[in-house]
Structure formats: structure tokens, C-alpha cells
Structure 1
């Protein structure tokens, strides 16, 4: 086991990271007042928060302060979050076993019920105009994105159904390939990109006014999507492969350039395993240690391993590095926020532990020399530009 300690320290040293305790402080130093002011002055859109599935598995009333999770109304207001895209997450097993259509509808029902129970705190956002109109009302606008297109079930009438229910983006696949596209995590590349139906679905999503999300898909599926799509696409919660070599789930520089040429936007995922090589490799180190010890890589082993080899949490600066990289590569107009709160377990960076901490991000951007105009684009302007372009394309097709 000792050699993994040495390996951990070696990689940390090469990456400029620090091994933190397994229960780091909730945030770094209080942000300066200007950052707090900007968090309230500008719309903040976060395109990926996994509240619906969190509540499906472990219900809490998120209209008040909660003991668990990274999102609730008080913390959202504190952080200035105006429009979270609530992830209608469908696990990959539903592609094999069925039931995805049912689960998606239930999760949407739950979000509508949340608004119904707390109409003074939440409102649905069915288009970009709703987000703008509801800004300043004290309400958190809940937009909906479907993570994994399994519930479409190969039927364009289901796309229409979910559009009517408020879904405004679909992540084409998740952790396994489905009937639409190959997944970046799945070594079986059945379709070598998009399936025939997936190609049909891209056009249909353009025509109906639904954003196409290429997070999770294989590289081939990504390039086929941007070639086919007549409207900008998004990566709702992806970070950069240059910081996590070999991790196909993230985007490489050529993909970012192609996304920018398409007019799209990459929304940076905050999870430590998405933004640092050491955290990305931590699971493999643990599995190797379990194999060497001849024991199961179970919860008990993970706990013991973490005591000897603390998880290498990323920091606020690491996330800022990803934003900087996109800006230097393609410009300020193609990057935003897709935190993956409530979706990446306890792997969130020091300083960005929940939805109250967006001012920390803003403070970091200010310290790195970003202007207010730049910051507004990162917080929401770039995503809203894409959303409007998708809406306008669909409107033009209907005339």
C-alpha cells in the first residue's frame, strides 16, 4: 500500500495539487463584496444540477435548507443562482430494461410539484424569455434537461411529448451507448457515432427548438452531431481533456474549436475528477490497491483507502484554469457553467461545494482580470445566446 502513497504524492506534485482531507471546508475565504454584488446583478444559469434524481432516491424539501445535497432554495438565493437546468437523469440500465419513459415523466412531475408547493420560490422556465422575465422576482427558474435520450425510445412523437413537458435539451447518451448514440464510456461502439435514428433525432431536435447536448457521447458521435446540426449545440457539463489526458468524457482542443465554429458552448463541470488528472485517476489507483491486497474494492476498502490516501480534491483555481483555457483557445463567447451539483458525489472542489458558492467563482474571475461583460457571458450570456439561436432556428422552420 505504501507505494500508492508515493505515487499519489508524485502525481500531486506534478499536477500542483494538494491532497485534502475527505471532509474539506465548505468554502474558501468569503468572497469580496463585488463578487457577491455581481452574483445578484447578473443572471446565473447552471446547465446541470441533479436534484430530480437526488430527490427520487432520497427526498427532502429543497424549498427550505436541507441537511444533504448541494442545492436548496436558501443556498441558491445566497449564491445568486437564477436558472438551474434540473437534470431529468435516466440511468443507462433503463435502455436495457425499459421504464425510462415512465421515470422521465415522474421526475418532471416532481419538479412541477415543487413549483406547485412553493410558487413564491420556484417557477418553471420553458424558454429563454422565461429566465429573463423571472429574473429579480426572488424565484428560482427551473429549466429541464434530459440526461440520456433513452426515454425517446426511437419515437419522434416522444420527442414532441417531452418538449411539451418542458425538456429543453437532451444529452444524447449517458454511461452506455443507447439507441441514439455511442457513449464515451462504452468501449462497444455499436454505431460508430450516431445511430440512423440518432441522425434523424438531431434534425428533429433542431426543428422543434430543443438544444442538443453532446456531453457523454463518443468523439465520433460529437463530430457527426456538429456536422448535422443546423443550430448551435451544447456540452452541458463537460470539462477539458488537456487536464485529464485519455478521459474521453471531456473535450479535447479540436472538439472545442469545432464546438465554437458551430456557435455552441461548453459548460464546465466542477467535479474534481473532471478537472484534475490526479482525481481522475484516483479510482484506478484504489482498484489497483484492492487487487494487490487481494480484497474486494467495496465501501469498506474505499473508506480505509481514503484514510491512508486522502482524495485529491481540486480547487477553485483548477476550475478557473479550465475556463481560461477555453477563452484563450476560442474566445470568451463559448464557455459557461455546468457544475454537476448533486451529480458527482463528494468530489467537488474546495471553494465550490454547493450552489451558494458561485460568488467564489466570480471573485476568482475578477482576480484573473475578467471584465464584468466577460463574467456575464460566462454566468449566463453565452448559454442564453445558444438557447435563443436554437429557438429562432425552430421558429424559422415553422414559418
Structure 2
């Protein structure tokens, strides 16, 4: 446990933009956030650093994760998302890009050893969390950097990767993706099944976010350790949106001891935004097929993927969402799965700012605490959801690997 006022004073000292908080007493929710473990399993800061270097050890208002905001919100452990795209995979650059993102976070921790520390185990968390550092772990979003070489799983484990999302927006060598219209494996491939077994052996958590329903079922059939959904919503609130988990699959994850980490992004909590996302991937599939056909004729495609995305964004305005929509998912998940199988995976810096009012940056976790309290959740349940459940699963995955 850390003295709350000391932590707030540190934030103020590090960034003048937080000076307004110096003389304000902490709310009960802020006190709770600063004295209980908070683990967020999905923050896309590494990709932001590759796009443009920013010193996240100081105030950076244009992004959603930096040290002062993390301290303000009470974040203890943030899983840094090592994301690579299907395009990186096709170009053969995914592995290099993954290592570059890990390098960027290691450089950040090296630059600010008093503010950040990289953790590889729950034991590291237990040892370091009484300090003032924000603890950084690595999760790999998309197994594209593994390629066909399962030996790369150990390479990335040695670099600190502690969960891997098997696929992302497209199906890949290991698994079918929930957004993909092309599903060559009908779930997991044979290589994907071998990868899950090797991840179990190494102690890497298997992440089923982004997978097709059949792939999730295959993971649950194959894995000998509990699995996680690092950043998923519940399909009850977005009917027909396969990217979110059905009640049935969420219950199956919980039954095997896993945890569903609920996402904050507007596209996952709002039915209208989810429908837009589904429409986008259908349009993207048509665009890619047209592009392939154009190149096959020896012609230059009329537009790039970047131009396609820019035109799409220009035509469709995001729907405003509120924190209550995240709280609705928390309420349903706790009732459906039990308080031991729910957590948080925000997707900060990964959804283009499309976030609900009240949960816009890592400074806002106390708003979630306050909302859960208002809805009748006990402090014990809130503590489990904020981080204790994820740490329990991580310990179990590590323990089974050691066996």
C-alpha cells in the first residue's frame, strides 16, 4: 500500500499541468485507486512510440498513457501492446517491428528508472509495486512475428512477452480472426495448436481477443492453462459482433479459470459503433480483393490503404459513448461469470481516441471505481476486477509452466 498523498505530490512535481490537483483532497475513489492494485492488459503505447517518439515519462497531452496520468489514475501494471498488422506480416517486417517496439519501451524504462520498471512475473509485481514506478509488462497483439517458427515463442518470452493474441484483424498461420471473411482453418490451425501447447510450456498467457468463435473454442480445448481475453467486450451489448465474446464463450473461459478483460473503446461497447466496425472490415475485404486484381493485371491500384482508411473515417462520424456503457458490461460480466473472472483491458492509444466520456486516459480509473461503487459492487469485487484476477491467472499460467 502506498500513501495516497505522497503519490499525488509526485505527480504534481513531475508535471506542472497537474498543479491544480495539489491542494485538492482525494476523493474516496481516488484513494481506492491509489491504494489497490490496478492492472490494465492492453495499452498501445509502443505503436505510438514508433509512429513518433514521445517521452512518456513526462506530461504528453496528445496521448492517453504517460507517467503523470498513470500516477494520477493509480495504474500499477500496464501491459504494453506489441502490435503488428497483417500488412506487416505480408511484407515480412512483423518480427523486426515487434522487436523495435520492445526496444522502445525498454529505452523508456532506461531513461526513467525512477518512473518505470519492466516486469516479467507476478513476483516482480509483488516486489516492485510498493514503489512509485509504473510497472510495464509486454503483450503481443497478433502472432505474426512468430511466423512459422515456434522457436520464436521462446525468443519473445525471453524478451518479456507474457501474453500473445493469436490473430488480429485477419486470419493468420495460427488462427482465424473474428473480423476476417477468409477463415482457412475453421478455428486454430495445426501450427496454432502447437503454439498454444508451447505457450503453456513457456508460461505465456494465451489471449483469445480478436479470434473467431471457432478459434476460441479450439484454444479452450487445447490449452492446459487458463486463458485470457486481453481486451474484449460482451456480445450481449453488440449483437452479431463476433469480435466481442458471446455469453457462452465468456462462461467457458471462466469455467477453465480464465479472465475476461473488458475493453473501453467505443467500437466495442456501442452497438452502432460495432456495426460500423463490421461494415469497415467488409469494405476492406472488397478493397483488398480489388487491389489484388488490379495488380494481377499489371496496373497500379487507384488508392493506397492509407487513402482508403482516410476516406472511410471522413465519411463516418463516431458515436458519442459514456462510461455507463462500460459499467453495464462490468455489471453483466460479474453476474454472468462471477467476480473472480472479470478484469480491464482499456485499449488506450489503440482506438484513435474513440473512448467513452469518463474513461479517456489512464488518469480515469477512479471514475470506474466510483461507478462500480454507485452500482453496488463491494470494494472486494472492485479490487478483483481492477487487477487481482489477472494477477491470479498470470500466477497460475506461470505455475503450470514450471511443472
What TM-score results when the alignment is normalised by the length of structure 2? 0.85
Measure, in 2, the Cα distance between the counterparts of 1:363 and 1:391: 33
Match of 2:112 among 111, 118, 125: 118
What's the counterpart of residue 85 of structure 1? 79
Secondary structure (helix, strand or coil) at the match of 2:219 reads helix
Q: Is the 8 A contact 1:31 1:359 kept in 2?
A: no
Q: CA deviation at 1:369?
A: 1.0
Measure, in 2, the Cα distance between the counterparts of 1:313 and 1:281: 14
Q: CA deviation at 1:341?
A: 0.1
Alignment of 1:173-322 (within 5 A): 173-282=167-276, 299=310, 302-303=313-314, 306=317, 311-322=318-329
Q: Deviations over 1:65-106 (max 9, x none)?
A: 013110100000000001000000011112222111111111
Q: Does 1:36 align with 2:30?
A: yes
Number of residue pairs aligned between Structure 1 and Structure 2: 356
Q: Deviations over 1:303-360 (max 9, x none)?
A: 5764xxxx32221111011011111112111110000000011210000000000000
Q: Does 1:359 align with 2:366?
A: yes
Match of 2:382 among 375, 379, 382: 375
Secondary structure (helix, strand or coil) at the match of 1:237 reads strand
Q: CA deviation at 1:281?
A: 2.8
Measure, in 2, the Cα distance between the counterparts of 1:93 and 1:31: 49
Secondary structure (helix, strand or coil) at the match of 1:178 reads coil
Measure, in 1, the Cα distance between the counterparts of 2:354 and 2:391: 28
Q: Deviations over 1:191-248 (max 9, x none)?
A: 1111111000111100111100000011111000011111000000000111111111
Q: CA deviation at 1:299?
A: 4.2
Measure, in 2, the Cα distance between the counterparts of 1:297 and 1:100: 22
Measure, in 2, the Cα distance between the counterparts of 1:369 and 1:204: 41
What's the counterpart of residue 144 of structure 2? 150
Secondary structure (helix, strand or coil) at the match of 1:170 reads strand
Q: CA deviation at 1:279?
A: 2.2
Change (3 A) 1:313 1:332: same
What's the counterpart of residue 70 of structure 1? 64
Q: CA deviation at 1:278?
A: 1.9
Measure, in 1, the Cα distance between the counterparts of 2:223 and 2:279: 39
What's the counterpart of residue 95 of structure 1? 89
Measure, in 2, the Cα distance between the counterparts of 1:57 and 1:124: 22
What's the counterpart of residue 349 of structure 1? 356
What TM-score results when the alignment is normalised by the length of structure 1? 0.86
Change (3 A) 1:361 1:189: same
Q: Is the 8 A contact 2:232 2:345 kept in 1?
A: yes
Measure, in 1, the Cα distance between the counterparts of 2:239 and 2:309: 27
Q: Deviations over 1:152-188 (max 9, x none)?
A: 1121211110000000000000111111111011111
Change (3 A) 1:300 1:388: closer
Deviating above 3 A after TM superposition, structure 1's stretches of 4 or more consecutive aligned residues are 282-288, 296-306
Secondary structure (helix, strand or coil) at the match of 2:231 reads coil
Aligned-residue CA RMSD (Å): 2.0
Q: Is the 8 A contact 2:241 2:278 kept in 1?
A: no
Q: CA deviation at 1:298?
A: 6.7
What's the counterpart of residue 329 of structure 1? 336
Q: Does 1:53 align with 2:47?
A: yes
Change (3 A) 1:166 1:304: closer
Change (3 A) 1:106 1:261: same
Secondary structure (helix, strand or coil) at the match of 1:279 reads helix
Structure 2 alignment gaps of length 5 or more: 1-23, 283-306
Measure, in 2, the Cα distance between the counterparts of 1:321 and 1:156: 40
Measure, in 1, the Cα distance between the counterparts of 2:312 and 2:170: 26
Q: Is the 8 A contact 2:78 2:135 kept in 1?
A: yes
Which is further off, 95-104 or 333-342? 95-104
Change (3 A) 1:31 1:182: farther
Q: Is the 8 A contact 2:114 2:133 kept in 1?
A: yes
